[in-house]
Structure 1
């Protein structure tokens, strides 16, 4: 049948960019791509330096005295307070604290936590796997769900299913994550009316379990925080995917593909969706950066021992080295993922960066 012959861009190259970009990355010179990539990497370095400077001064505006907080309200003499300040380096002039902080940070030394008396990088390394387990699981689920429902909603836009999916996505996306988390705890942990308490109220494990029992215990604690994150976050992916695909649906190459007799499902899967990926790719990489950073409110509500909960603890003191280190780590994760998305764009659509 004529539909099987590779006589048009839609068939000759599979999923191809819309409009004039009918080729793949070979259509652009590697010199141009390297120049484009160097500009993006340079911008990322500048952003990291700006975060480094901002993080130092921003958290010194937080009210509170770390030394007095760490003494726990005990009667402490002025000499002892001065000794603590010397130990933490808080007696130095601000400019000296700043240069010391920047110099160490650029070598990978994020300082020592006031409250834990341990290197900040060790505390981050300790809590990171817990955050990746929670937010990584949620990321995979809400990305897959959002892209699938966004694609189907766009292809059937205006129908009842599209209106229901879009309305629910907008509603859940506007719900504060901490409020939804508390609501789930009340209903499914504490129990409400005929609904018994089925899940733990917080934490990552009950303790005393080993082997497969430990895995099941952690999974049991994981259910409610993952549901909270998926419910709040999937709507953004759905709406971006739907919008990008709607923009593609009137393109000439899709009309050509249909005219050749290709099934509607094949037109959507092989041609429309791949060419509508750029906005979704941006969102996926930004969310991936947030996955590394953790979700402070959700981890705090569910007492999950990850980076988000650690950041909340650090802010309450304030534990300046820890809060600065976490802030830098969070921002770096997002900047790196944004940069990777920028570097991937020309491989998806060679028009980018021209």
Structure 2
């Protein structure tokens, strides 16, 4: 009788285990989403207060050089809402944000959402392309350097990456402009007289992207190289690699099939974090090369200060970072069985 009931008991136990895993996954996802929402709320509060302590009066900046009386300045402050108590400004801001309204730019007199949408494309093109190149280059050099630890290749690649990483971005961009002369354009996204067909526009944009893209890649690829190199070095003496070699696998296969997939896990969070930062743009790079993206828009908004525009950019930036961190945490749970077991 006991033997007859054994399969039934095993099936019930397996079903209970599946339900437990499903409940654990739901709790994990709910916890991450709840943490993300809490982070976004804190970001909204911090962003509102942070930009209120920036020195400068937006009304004085908007009326500089114009014959404006004190009464007219007071009327403009009342129309912009900057004369209200701070708490009232914050409540009004939360109400607009709940309706999806990021406000109206002081300087451009246009909805902040429209301005961000216009500048988002160039930033995604430049910084997204640069990030993809930096990830591929950094991971490849990190893998090669770790597998040949102490070799000339390892020393040179690590030294060069650390040197470039320590350089100020704007200074490196200026050096590249001086070094290349007139070989590549030094500003803008395309020439105004470029023919309107797709191929001409694409080639002209790619030509303008060379210097800012090279600057961005040179500064950030070292992060991926160092993380990948460190992760792979930790895996080098693992028992499963010794077993794989004992089975007769070639060194390249051991590295490609066993060591690299496990060493990639710590880089997932870093890669997704930087994918979130893609939306922020590279303020210094876009400013030096006059690239019409969110980075240059942020620099222009700081001159005001254009408070609604700064707050809108800040929310878009932090929202993308929080979203990418959540995706990284969920993907990490899929890739690493130890996280699922915990």
Q: What's the TM-score once normalised by structure 2's chain length?
A: 0.92
The answer on 1:125 being equivalent to 2:79 is no
Task: Report the counterpart of residue 111 of structure 1 in structure 2.
Answer: 103
**Structure 1 residue 35: Cα displacement:** 1.3
Name structure 1 gaps, 5 residues minimum.
1-25, 192-196
Matches within 5 A, 1:1-354: 29-188=21-180, 191=181, 197-209=182-194, 210-211=196-197, 212-352=199-339, 354=342
**Structure 1 residue 103: Cα displacement:** 1.9
Provide the rounded CA distance (Å) in 1 between the counterparts of 2:200 and 2:299. 30
Once the two structures are superposed, residues 164-211 of structure 1 have per-residue CA deviations (whole angstroms, 9 ceiling, x without a partner) of: 1111111111111111011111222xx3xxxxx211121111111121
Provide the rounded CA distance (Å) in 1 between the counterparts of 2:336 and 2:104. 45
Provide the rounded CA distance (Å) in 1 between the counterparts of 2:96 and 2:261. 44
Task: Report the counterpart of residue 17 of structure 1 in structure 2.
Answer: none
**Structure 1 residue 30: Cα displacement:** 2.3
**Structure 1 residue 72: Cα displacement:** 2.8
**Structure 1 residue 346: Cα displacement:** 1.1
Runs of 4+ aligned residues of structure 1 deviating over 3 Å after TM superposition are: none
Task: Report the counterpart of residue 7 of structure 2 in structure 1.
Answer: none
CA contact (8 A) 1:27 1:350 kept: no
Once the two structures are superposed, residues 217-241 of structure 1 have per-residue CA deviations (whole angstroms, 9 ceiling, x without a partner) of: 1111100000001100111100000
SS in 1 for 2:325: helix
**Structure 1 residue 92: Cα displacement:** 1.4
Provide the rounded CA distance (Å) in 1 between the counterparts of 2:141 and 2:204. 31
Over the residues paired in the alignment, what is the CA RMSD in angstroms?
1.4
CA contact (8 A) 1:257 1:267 kept: yes
Name structure 2 gaps, 5 residues minimum.
1-17
Task: Report the counterpart of residue 12 of structure 1 in structure 2.
Answer: none
CA contact (8 A) 1:131 1:306 kept: yes
SS in 2 for 1:152: helix
Provide the rounded CA distance (Å) in 1 between the counterparts of 2:185 and 2:66. 35
**Structure 1 residue 254: Cα displacement:** 0.8
Provide the rounded CA distance (Å) in 2 between the counterparts of 1:56 and 1:331. 13
Provide the rounded CA distance (Å) in 2 between the counterparts of 1:74 and 1:100. 30
Structure 1 residues 182 and 28: CA distance shift in structure 2, 3 A: farther
SS in 2 for 1:241: helix
Residue correspondences, number: 322
Provide the rounded CA distance (Å) in 2 between the counterparts of 1:261 and 1:347. 30
**Structure 1 residue 328: Cα displacement:** 1.0
**Structure 1 residue 142: Cα displacement:** 0.6
Q: What's the TM-score once normalised by structure 1's chain length?
A: 0.89
Provide the rounded CA distance (Å) in 2 between the counterparts of 1:252 and 1:84. 71
Provide the rounded CA distance (Å) in 1 between the counterparts of 2:19 and 2:173. 49
SS in 2 for 1:29: helix
